[in-house]
Amino acid sequence: AKTLAKPRIFLPHLVASLEQVDETYIMVKPDGVQRGLVGEIISRFEKKGFKLTGLKLFQCPQDLAEEHYKDLKGKSFFPKLIEYIVSGPVVCMAWEGVGVVAAARKLIGATNPLQAEPGTIRGDLAVQTGRNVVHGSDSPENGKREIALWFKEGELCQWTPAQAPWLRE
């Protein structure tokens, strides 16, 4: 295979701007909050190196839960799913980074926790699909849609973590 000549001028700001920064909506579901897993779950995304841009503890109303899961409206488990999501407070998070949507799905693991790999959040911390402790957006488009749905504009924070140059060259 042809090898590319090494660039002589290093322009990190230009290289960084060419990469697509995505956003994802991550939520600790009511079972995760009740079981005291909030810190553990936040920690996994934090340690990976993604940037937290929104965070709140929130009692989700019925209509918001239905809007969030509107694509599943025809499913037999839909009423139970909505009941589960509104059954107690959730922790809403917005995370940003290159490839964050797909990477977060990997960190979370398969929908059925018994099929989720050890090392993933669901693989390590849950046993049942109906109590799978965490949500993560399934596409960059849904990431944007869900963040707009769960957060008001003033609740999101744009900032540059001090660790940025230690995380990405």
The answer to whether 50 is annotated as binding is: no
- Coil, strand or helix at 59: coil
What's the closest the beta carbon of residue 160 comes to ligand ADP, in angstroms? 30
Catalytic residue, candidates 26, 135, 147, 151: 135
Among 129, 145, 148, 156, binds ligand ADP (CB under 6 A): 129
For residues 31-90, which are near ligand ADP according to CB under 6 A?
72, 77, 81
Give the HSE-up count for residue 162: Cα atoms under 13 Å, Cβ half-sphere.
0
**How many Å apart are CA 125 and CA 133, to the nearest integer?**
8
* Exposure b/e, 11-45, CB count within 10 A at least 16 = b: eeeeeeeeeeebbbbbbbbbbbbeeebbeebbebb
| Contact of 23 with 53, CB cutoff 8 Å | yes
The answer to whether 112 is annotated as binding is: no
What's the closest the beta carbon of residue 45 comes to ligand ADP, in angstroms? 16
Q: Does 130 bind ligand ADP (CB under 6 A)?
A: yes
When CB distances to ligand ADP are compared, the closest residue is 111
- 68 counts as catalytic: no
**How many Å apart are CA 93 and CA 96, to the nearest integer?**
10
Site string for ligand ADP, 83-122 (x = CB under 6 A): ----------------------------x-----------
- Least Cα distance to 143 among 109, 107, 108, 93 occurs for 93
Q: Which residues are known catalytic residues?
A: 135
Give the footprint of ligand ADP on this chain (CB under 6 A). Answer: 72, 77, 81, 111, 129-130, 132, 135, 138
